[in-house]
């Protein structure tokens, strides 16, 4: 019995399992600052807890219902999940290269050939005779490519990274969707608040217009005051349709985002509801490096970089010889009646084959260089994703913090404007002030109320943008496709 040295087994094992050409990829840590330039508060900046399901912090059950409906029925989410399943199947196809391929086949043929009979066998010279034959075959063909240089391994590595990138892309679709749902919902509630303010102002201006008309008819006022009051009343009333158009547009878009016809959500959203808000203490920024790793677009770009690295190895493996093992076992007979008689028709074959690249006019080398260039593209894309993420967070932080300051000042401005209306009206009734002062104070008060409603809306919208920039997400159980 032939015995082999243990070193030979180790060498063969290394060739069959460990050799993989191409670069070995190592995860890239995003270059992140130590802290954000803009801080909200010391306690918020130090927070490191998860931001899963951040939209529930607005404490609005209807908003949470809309988000759940959108995640379940939005066509873009369905498309993104389908892309994940495609990537998983691509990975399964790549992993199939590790194993032999076995195919069963049944074949039958009948043919006729013409040949020249040899001289000396009782036939005249150059006699042409026909020959008819049958052939029946039944068996299994097997083939197996030994992964000597890691082509299959690198293909699986690339497919794994591609699957993870597809999952991250699906997370990005969901993050954008949830942000859009929350933003349009908050905007709709803000418009309802502004509509209520406008309707209240219209009623007040209408009363003022009637009062000036009565005073003019009684001889205690002027026609100019009545005309000015009427003009301000009608001018303010003219702003109401535009606000109602905006409200309808928000509701229509929310319906589309949840996978429904435009008017489906009108019964649920037309009734006014307060503008959702989150307490400042509930916001947790986290460490920049953790935020960047949480961002699905950054994760996707990093996984695409890993995929590009593995594809270089796939291309380089094609530069080396390929070893294939092929075989057949089954039956082969000229007669159907004896096809499955093992002694008469049993057949088998087995043997290796080596494909050695000799000349391809530089095609394989060109593929390697192309994959290396694609890796550089992916690396630049990853760096861009990191920088864009940092910019998104900083912009969102600035917008959110400054809008909160603006809202605080508008609260004071609205209170002062209300006092001005009261004082100017009292002076006018006593004959100590002009009606122009009354109109001006009313106009200022209306504008202050409208600006305050817009600012309160913008604070929540800016907070939504900040949650998106920070990569806020959801629990794993709700955001990834079901397991196979």
Q: Which of 387, 391, 373, 385 is nearest to 302 (CA)?
A: 385
Cβ proximity of 330 and 137 under 8 Å = yes
Give the pLDDT confidence of 424-460 residue by residue, as tens digits: 888 877 778 777 787 788 888 898 998 999 999 999 9
pTM: 0.82
Residue 382 has pLDDT above 80, yes or no: yes
Helix segments in 127-150, DSSP class H: none
Q: Where are the beta strands (DSSP E) in 21-156?
A: 101-116, 128-146
State pLDDT tens for residues 403-427.
Answer: 999 999 999 998 998 888 888 888 8
CA 125 to chain centre: 81
CA distance 290 to 48: 9
- E strand or H helix at 348, and its extent? strand 346-355
pLDDT at position 3 is: 45
**Nearest-angstrom CA–CA distance, 181 and 257:** 7
269: pLDDT strictly greater than 90: yes
Q: How far apart are CA 441 and CA 447, in angstroms?
A: 10
Question: Any idea which residue has 């005249």 for tokens?
Answer: 124
- In the block, which residue shows the tokens 């290269």? 97
In CATH terms, 20-99+150-322+363-479 corresponds, of 3.30.390.50, 3.40.47.10, 1.20.1600.10, 3.30.70.270, to: 1.20.1600.10
pLDDT interval class at 4 (50, 70, 90):
very low
State residue 79's pLDDT score: 92
Per-residue pLDDT of 158-207, as tens digits, reads 999 999 999 999 999 999 999 999 999 999 999 999 999 999 888 888 88
List Cβ neighbours of 206 (8 Å cut-off, separation of 6 or more): 233
User: Alpha-carbon distance 162 to 120, whole Å?
Assistant: 72
Percent of the chain that is helix, strand, coil (3-state, to 5): 65, 10, 25
> Which has the higher per-residue pLDDT, 342 or 93?
93
Weakest-pLDDT range from 53-62, 101-110, 114-123, 322-331: 114-123
The band of 475, judged by pLDDT with boundaries at 50, 70 and 90, is: very low
Beta carbons within 10 angstroms of residue 474's beta carbon: 21
Please give the structure tokens belonging to residue 91: 């990975």
Taking the C-alpha atoms of residue 289 and residue 371, their distance in angstroms, rounded to an integer, is 29
pLDDT at residue 118 in the model: 61
Helix intervals (H) in 24-74 = 42-45, 61-73
- Segment 371-391 mean pLDDT: 93
Q: In this structure, what token pair is assigned to residue 93? A: 């196809």
Q: Can you point out the beta strands (E) in 391-481?
A: none
Residue 331 backbone phi and psi in degrees, to 5: -130, 145
CA gap 157, 310 in Å, rounded? 6
Chain mean pLDDT for the chain: 82
Q: 286 Cβ partners below 8 Å, 6+ apart?
A: 47, 48, 51, 294, 470
- Predicted local confidence at residue 350, as pLDDT: 77
Does the pLDDT value for residue 398 go beyond 60? yes
Q: Are 79 and 85 in contact (CB under 8 A)?
A: no
Which runs of consecutive H residues, i.e. helices, occur in 105-150? Answer: none
Q: What is the mean pLDDT of residues 97-113?
A: 77
CA separation for the pair 460, 280 (Å, rounded): 11
Torsion (CA) 449, 451, 457, 458 in degrees, nearest 10 = -160
Per-residue model confidence (pLDDT) at position 7: 43
Segment among 102-116, 250-264, 313-327 with least mean pLDDT? 102-116
175 and 77 Cβ atoms separated by less than 8 Å: no
pLDDT bin (cut points 50, 70, 90) of residue 14 is: very low
Q: Which residue has the higher pLDDT, 136 or 46?
A: 136
Other CB atoms within 10 A of residue 145 CB: 18
Confidence of residue 283 (pLDDT cuts 50, 70, 90): low
Residue range 135-161, pLDDT digits in tens: 767 777 777 888 888 888 998 999 999
């Amino acid at each position: 019995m032939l015995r082999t040295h243990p070193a030979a087994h180790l060498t063969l094992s290394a060739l069959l399992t460990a050799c993989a050409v191409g670069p070995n990829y190592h995860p890239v840590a995003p270059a992140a600052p130590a802290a954000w330039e803009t801080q909200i508060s010391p306690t918020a900046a130090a927070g490191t807890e998860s931001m899963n399901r951040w939209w529930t912090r607005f404490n609005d059950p209807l908003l949470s219902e809309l988000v759940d409906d959108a995640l379940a029925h939005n066509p873009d989410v369905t498309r993104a999940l389908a892309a994940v399943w495609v990537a998983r199947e691509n990975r399964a196809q790549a992993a199939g290269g590790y194993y032999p391929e076995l195919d069963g086949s049944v074949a039958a043929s009948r043919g006729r050939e013409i040949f020249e009979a040899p001289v000396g066998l009782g036939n005249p010279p150059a006699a042409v005779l026909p020959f008819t034959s049958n052939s029946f075959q039944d068996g299994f063909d097997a083939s197996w490519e030994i992964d000597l240089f890691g082509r299959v391994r690198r293909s699986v590595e690339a497919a794994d990274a591609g699957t993870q990138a597809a999952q991250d892309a699906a997370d990005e679709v969901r993050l954008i969707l949830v942000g859009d749902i929350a933003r349009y919902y908050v905007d709709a509630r803000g418009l309802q608040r502004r509509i209520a303010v406008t309707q209240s102002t219209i009623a007040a201006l209408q009363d003022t217009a009637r009062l000036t008309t009565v005073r003019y008819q009684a001889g205690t006022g002027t026609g100019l005051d009545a005309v000015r009051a009427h003009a301000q009343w009608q001018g303010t009333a003219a702003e109401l349709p535009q606000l109602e158009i905006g409200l309808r547009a928000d509701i229509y878009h929310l319906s589309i985002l949840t996978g429904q016809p435009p008017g489906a959500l009108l019964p649920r959203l037309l009734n006014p509801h307060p503008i959702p808000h989150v307490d400042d203490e509930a916001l947790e920024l986290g460490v920049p490096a953790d935020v960047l790793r949480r961002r699905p677009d950054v994760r996707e770009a990093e996984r695409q970089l890993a995929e590009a690295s593995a594809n270089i190895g796939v291309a380089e493996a094609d530069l080396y010889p390929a070893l294939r093992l092929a075989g057949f076992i089954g039956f082969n007979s000229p007669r159907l009646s004896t096809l499955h008689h093992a002694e008469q028709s049993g057949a088998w074959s087995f043997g290796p084959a080596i494909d050695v690249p000799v000349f391809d006019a530089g095609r394989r080398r060109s593929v390697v260089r192309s994959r290396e260039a694609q890796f550089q593209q992916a690396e630049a894309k990853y760096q861009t994703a990191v920088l864009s993420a940092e910019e998104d967070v900083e912009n969102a932080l600035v917008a959110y913090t400054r809008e909160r300051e603006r809202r605080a000042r508008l609260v004071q401005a609205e209170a002062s404007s209300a006092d001005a209306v009261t004082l100017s009206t009292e002076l006018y009734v006593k004959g100590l002030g002009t009606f122009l002062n009354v109109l001006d104070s009313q106009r200022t008060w209306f504008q202050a109320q409208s600006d305050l409603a817009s600012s309160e809306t913008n604070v929540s919208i800016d907070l939504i943008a900040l949650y998106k920039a920070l990569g806020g997400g959801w629990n794993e159980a709700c955001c990834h496709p079901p397991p196979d």
